[in-house]
Amino acid sequence: MHKDTREILYTEEQIRDRSAELGKQISADYEGKDVLMVGLLKGSVPFFAELAKHVTLDVEFDFMRVSSYEGTESTGNVIVKKDIDVDFKGKDILLVEDILDTGKTLYTVRQMLLEKGAASVEIATLLNKQERREFPIQAKYVGFEIPNAFVIGYGMDYNEKYRNLPYVGILKEEVYM
Does residue 138 touch ligand XMP according to CB under 6 A?
A: no
Point out which residues pair with 136 in neighbouring strands.
Answer: none
Instruction: Report the half-sphere exposure of 67 (CA within 13 A, side-chain side).
Output: 3
Does residue 104 touch ligand XMP according to CB under 6 A?
A: yes
61 binds, among Mg ion, ligand XMP, none (CB under 5 to 8 A by kind): none
Nearer to ligand XMP, 115 or 160 (CB): 160
State how beta strands 92-100 and 120-128 pair: parallel
95 binds, among ligand XMP, Mg ion, none (CB under 5 to 8 A by kind): none
The catalytic residue among 29, 62, 101, 157 is 101
Span interacting with ligand XMP, options 16-24, 88-96, 97-105, 111-119, rule CB under 6 A: 97-105
Q: Is 101 an active-site residue?
A: yes
**Minimum CB separation from ligand XMP for residue 94, in Å?**
16
CB of 60 closer than 8 Å to CB of 171: no
What counts of helices (H) and strands (E) characterise the chain?
4, 9
**Which among 37, 16, 13, 17 has a CA at the least distance from the CA of 26?**
37
What residues numbered 4-43 form the site for ligand XMP, per CB under 6 A?
Answer: 43
Does residue 157 touch ligand XMP according to CB under 6 A?
A: yes
Nearer to Mg ion, 27 or 68 (CB): 68
Does residue 95 touch ligand XMP according to CB under 6 A?
A: no
Spell out the long-range contacts of 145-150 with Cβ–Cβ below 8 A and sequence spacing 24 or more: 146/9, 150/176
Q: How many residues bind ligand XMP (CB under 6 A)?
A: 16
**Which among 87, 153, 83, 89 has a CA at the least distance from the CA of 117?**
89
Q: How far apart are CA 134 and CA 150, in angstroms?
A: 17
**Minimum CB separation from ligand XMP for residue 54, in Å?**
22
Q: At what angle do helices 12-29 and 45-53 cross, to 10 degrees?
A: 60
Which residues of the chain form contacts with Mg ion (CB under 5 A)?
43
Q: Which residues bind ligand XMP (CB under 6 A)?
A: 43, 68, 97-105, 150-152, 156-157
Which amino acids are annotated catalytic?
Answer: 101
